[in-house]
Amino acid sequence: MIAPTAGNAVLVGLLIVVWAVGWGLFVGRAWQLYRYLRLGRDEDRTQRPLRRIRDELVIYLGQRKLLKRPYYVRGLAHALIFWGFLIITIGTVDLFLSGVFGFRIPGTGTAPFVWTVDLFAIAVLLSIALAVVRRLFFPPPRMHVALDGYLILAGIAFLMLTLLLFETAGLVAGVAAQGFTAPPLATLITRLWPSPFPGESSAVVYGAAWWGHLVGVAAFAAYLPQSKHLHIVTTLPNVFFRSQRPRGALDLITKIEERETFGAGSVRDLSWKQLLDGYTCTECGRCSDQCPALATGKPLDPQKIVLDVRDQLLHEGHRLVRDGADRGTPPARYGPTKTEELWACTTCAACVEACPVTIEHIDKIVDMRRWLAMMEGDVPPEAQRSLTNIERAGNPWGQPPDTRADWAKDLGVPTFAEKPDAEWLYFVGCAASFDRRNQKVARAVVEVLRAADVSFAILGTEETCNGDPARRIGNEYLWQTQAQQNIETLRKYGVTKVIASCPHCFNTIANEYPQLGGSYEVVHAVQLVDRLVREGKLRMRDGATESVAYHDPCYLGRHNKVYDAPRDVLGAMPGVTTVEIAPHHRERGFCCGAGGGRMWMEEKVGQRVNHRRMDQILAVDAATPVTKVASGCPFCLIMLDEAVGAKAVQERIKPIDVMELVQARLIARS
Amino acid sequence: MKILVCVKQTPDSTVRVKVAADGRSVDASQITWAISPYDEYAVELALERKDADPSTTVAVVTLGAARGRDALRQALAMGCDEAILVSGQGAETLQGSAVARALAKVVEEAKADLVLCGRQASDDDQGLVGLALAEALGWPHVSTITKFAPADAGPAGSFNGIDVWKEVEGGHEVWRASGPAVLTVQKSEKDPRYPSLPGIMKAKKKEIPEKDVAALGIDARAPSLEIVKMEPPPARGGGKILKDGDMKQTAAELVRLLREEAKVL
Amino acid sequence: MKVWAIVERSASGPRRVSLEIAAKAKELGDATAIEVTGLERYSSLPAVGPLATKAKADAPDLILVGATPTGRDLGARLAARLGWAYASEATDLAVEDGAATITRTMYAGKVRATVRATLPAVVSVRPGAFTLKSGAAEPVVESVTADASAEKLAFQRFEPSAAASGRIPLAEARVVVSGGRGLRGPENWKQVEELAGILGAALGASRAVTDAGWRPNEEQVGQTGRTVTPDLYIALGISGAIQHLAGMTSSKVIVAVNKDPEADIFKVADYGVVGDLFEFLPAFTEEVKKAKAAA
């Protein structure tokens, strides 16, 4: 198409001015936002560059995290809009260039390109229509449906319509350039409707639509930084710089002895990436949808946590940039309900899993908790008691540390002191050591390991709490102290391989101890059993025919992606039918409520999370009766035990650990 | 107002106390030391007063082994302004009213207006020293308090007397002390504050002056309790399970056992 | 051997512990029961002065006082005033060769100690340590008038506690009757309250029932609730989860009633009843009523 500005220097000048203004406003505001971003703490996000590139291609370009149930169709609509935006942007740039320089980008006149543009334009329009209808008539409960959203949708629709309009008018007015393929949609329209425009107005319509499109883009650009639609720009770096740490690992506070402040006392203490997350939130509400705390009536909404960071930064940014000494408000105190929101989190990572633009909610929550815990000493008192117990007795229950190995007394389990050449360390954990119900699981683990001739030993009374509750509650100092103690003990015995029956022990030893120099091969007991079964070293005999529901522990499943091993172990048990607690299973598993240090806190608001989980299990049970619900975590076990009691189904459905099921079906060694 | 809190470092309650081989003392090897719990409440009450009136100074003192420094550091980390360690030869074996006399010297030197301590130490469970200290100073005391507050709204910084809430059956008696007094603390309404990490770091670096108990020039003789024997209480468990017979018989049997065997009815 | 027993009075007469120590004093030697009169409510300075003066004059070898809050306050200050040895919360006592051999607990009740105090000494005695023989005559009580001029404090007022309303606070209760999920619902607590009333016990509850809203949070016994150290802890329909045990294993005697023989509570109970709580409780309440009436 010949540009309406061809040969007209004034019009060319006007076009340049319009774009300069529009994009100038964009750059101006974007620059300000960038300066605010730079207020944040430094953080190195350059590790694993190849993985970052891969994530960019898969998540940003491939829209992978959008195309997930139960949002598949909506995700597809968005993907189409996004891909459409990418393609059509080439066309827009081409338009501008042709308008200013009379220059076309090579290939933009070819059939494949022109067809792609038109098809995507249709797809985008349809998706927009879908989006508008949904927002107007069936708004999803947790999505902010604000004017901003409608403006953006209207803007995109406008751009698509002007595109189609100038293509059609251009075709009718005969301004197609030589050798360039006619746009198919325009061709189709003119075939069905030869004179869509009155009289000789097609040229005028062409010009108007052409200008409308380009001015629209400039206006869009100017508006962009005031809108959540900025995510189209910020998602690019946000995905690239996402955390490449294992999901279950929180970041390390280095040189803790030399610091004066800990945690987020100001938006300046949040890292630039955490602030970028604030800009990138599209307010889609998928995180809110998946959050077990919000679902059960707690004040926590992960989306609000993220948006509050953004709002606080925008609110305080100008002042903070101007006055370097101004620290602003601690994010943990931004808003009257903030602390209740923060303590309600179980760190289950359902929000992180759900977020299409790789926002890291948990890191922010923990950074704010760190401020409350280490600077203000403002932690829920019951949780504080557990931390003090860990500090003084090495376990959150405050049980006498010299009784830690009593569960193993009559089993003759060797300690590393007695058997220094053992291959594996079985890190028992506080729950299995002291909680009577979970001591049975520890015994089951021992029996299973023996049946498979695994060489192992325990630390006995030299074992101390791995520190996970402390780290999640925000007392990083206590976690480092505990971790260093354990790492020292493991170093003393030359331990290289660790088995854990608790996902919290597993997660922190495998993913977080390396931060302090303790690197080992770490497996969860069910992973080892899975391996042993495959290698033929462990066999299970026929047992009762039973239906067992499997509950994914968050720190085994979502945090460490161990979904299949426990299922394979269950599958290897003759007679056992594994029942999925669909749709709340695997990546969408619903938390038992004990993570994030919440095992040690009172739950005073709304329905108890474990009771909601039980409701879900009972719903599945109504269709496929189960006699047991199996998990691989001592906290899940305690929570489910409480829940079956509360729902008065304890006679019918027994919470059990996978290891206990294995134990019951062991084929005795000859 | 200057408040002096007397704290004792005792074995932390989470660790099981074991009787030593000699059968008359505790095995010190396994012990984690901490501020005696009632004393912690006393520190908390003092600090709450300081929160309400920042012109208040809170000093904390302990008498005994040199490791008492750790207890003092914890109190400093919680927010106390100064700490005094009274140690030296003989400090650990000082008892009862001799301890009180030593502390009285510290109180006088510190020019404290008010002395707080826990109602009893979690090692000897006696509840003597606080009251003996009041006696040595010639001051009144109020025991088992849960709260205190200034009596008047006088000019800031001046000590016009305090009202003290003493816990009794069914409620509290409010007593007014117009002069200096010793208060022994039953509990504070808020849990003892957990020291902030910067507080802990700062406390680690703070100077803690040590006074030699011998240099206080007190009469170290005091009527004391000589521990003749120590034994763990009878082990839990292995109780009698009653399950046969009808409930009436079982009930009667249980009552009989509780009266005659356990002597709790 | 001269022994004093300091008598404390309640509205209905001498406290039971005062009668117990008066009887013990008689056993030990030439006994005098003595009380301070002239005080509307106890205050240490007005009471200690006259007692000390009389003690210096009469020279008893041993002064016994009940280990009530008042008794411990008075006993300690008196011992300090007189410069005598002091032992609190004795559960047993013998005298020989000019010294008192006292049994008491130490380390927050975790250790049982036998200590010797050279006479003269002041000893506060745990209520119930010495059982009163039925039909024992009430002692003749000498009185000593309080010295109001010694007072340095001024009583302002009494503030009843909000939760009081006749309820015994858990903290110092000597007997606690505690209910758990086995009671099935809040409506079944009447029986628990009845038993507690007869025993003069405080009410406790497991976390499960306070969470469920059946009982107020103040009654929760356990790691996130209150720790209690009564002489008698009766656990009704409580399974004995570790968090609950953390709050009550320091009880002197634990009685547990539960229909599940595997319940963890039986591992710490001194006396356990396996059976239907709803059959046992009325029968037990009846038996306790009978026993108390006869006491």
Asked if residue A670 has pLDDT above 50, the reply is no
Segment B136-166, tens digit of pLDDT: 999 999 999 999 999 875 566 566 789 999 9
Cβ pair C63, C55 in contact under 8 A: yes
Q: Which residues contact C65 (CB under 8 A, 6 or more apart)?
A: C5, C6, C8, C21, C71, C72, C74, C75, C78, C122, C123, C124, C125
Predicted model pTM:
0.86
Are the beta carbons of B14 and A392 separated by less than 8 Å?
yes
Asked if residue C223 has pLDDT above 80, the reply is no
Determine the residue of chain A that is closest to B30 in CA distance: A402
How much helix, strand and coil, in percent to the nearest 5, is found in chain B? 30, 30, 40
A648 touches chain C (CB under 8 A): no
Q: Tell me which chain A residues have a C-beta less than 8 angstroms from the C-beta of C223.
A: 382, 385, 397-398
A646 touches chain C (CB under 8 A): yes
Segment B65-78, tens digit of pLDDT: 999 999 999 999 99
Q: Tell me which chain C residues have a C-beta less than 8 angstroms from the C-beta of B170.
A: 160-161, 164
What is the distance in angstroms between the Cα of B59 and the nearest Cα belonging to chain C? 24
DSSP A490-545: HHHTT--EEEESSHHHHHIIIIIGGGGT---EEEEHHHHHHHHHHTTS--B-----
Interface of C with B in 225-254 (CB under 8 A): 231-232, 249, 252-254
What is the distance in angstroms between the Cα of C50 and the nearest Cα belonging to chain B? 15
What is the distance in angstroms between the Cα of B251 and the nearest Cα belonging to chain A? 28
Strand order in the sheet with B240-242: B240-242, C271-274, C253-258, C232-236, C175-179, C202-205
What is the distance in angstroms between the Cα of B32 and the nearest Cα belonging to chain A? 7
Q: Which of A224-238, A317-331, B238-252 has the lowest mean pLDDT?
A: B238-252
A371 touches chain B (CB under 8 A): no
Task: Find the length of chain B.
Answer: 265
Could you give the CA distance from residue C189 to residue C180 in angstroms, rounded to a whole number?
A: 10
Q: Whose CA is closest to C168, among C123, C203, C216?
A: C203
Asked if residue A267 has pLDDT above 60, the reply is yes
Q: Tell me which chain B residues have a C-beta less than 8 angstroms from the C-beta of A401.
A: 15
Q: Tell me which chain A residues have a C-beta less than 8 angstroms from the C-beta of B201.
A: 257, 260
Asked if residue C283 has pLDDT above 70, the reply is yes
- DSSP H/E element including C199: helix C189-199
Cβ pair C46, C81 in contact under 8 A: no
Average pLDDT over residues A408-428: 95
C260 touches chain A (CB under 8 A): no
**How does residue C110 score in pLDDT terms, banded at 50, 70 and 90?**
confident
Task: Find the length of chain C.
Answer: 295
Q: Which of A216-220, B48-52, B239-243 has the lowest mean pLDDT?
A: B239-243
A262 touches chain B (CB under 8 A): yes
Handedness of CA B240, B245, B247, B253 (dihedral sign): negative
Q: Tell me which chain A residues have a C-beta less than 8 angstroms from the C-beta of C246.
A: 397-399
Are the beta carbons of A379 and B194 separated by less than 8 Å?
yes
Asked if residue B49 has pLDDT above 70, the reply is yes
Give the pair of three-digit tokens for residue B3: 């408040």
For chain C, which domains are there? 2-150 (3.40.50.620), 175-294 (3.40.50.1220)
Could you give the CA distance from residue A584 to residue A557 in angstroms, rounded to a whole number?
A: 12
User: Chains touching chain A at 3 or more Cβ pairs under 8 angstroms?
Assistant: B, C
Q: What is the mean pLDDT of chain A?
A: 92
Could you give the CA distance from residue A638 to residue A652 in angstroms, rounded to a whole number?
A: 17
Please state, for a pLDDT cut of 90, what percent of chain A lies above it: 74
Amino acid C14: pLDDT: 85
**How does residue A177 score in pLDDT terms, banded at 50, 70 and 90?**
low
For chain A, which domains are there? 9-37+49-240 (1.20.950), 256-378 (1.10.1060), 382-534 (3.40.50), 546-664 (3.40.50)
Are the beta carbons of C85 and B136 separated by less than 8 Å?
no
DSSP annotation of C191: H
Asked if residue C164 has pLDDT above 70, the reply is no
Matching residue, tokens 């200008």: A211
Are the beta carbons of C246 and A398 separated by less than 8 Å?
yes
User: Parallel, antiparallel, or unpaired: how do β-strands C111-118 and B225-231 relate?
Assistant: antiparallel
Could you give the CA distance from residue B184 to residue B116 in angstroms, rounded to a whole number?
A: 6
DSSP A571-612: HTSTTEEEEE-TTSSGGGPPP-S-TTTGGGS---SSS-HHHH
Could you give the CA distance from residue C263 to residue C271 in angstroms, rounded to a whole number?
A: 13
What is the distance in angstroms between the Cα of C236 and the nearest Cα belonging to chain A? 16
Q: Whose CA is closest to A596, among A298, A318, A259?
A: A298
Cβ pair C32, C5 in contact under 8 A: yes
Amino acid A486: pLDDT: 98
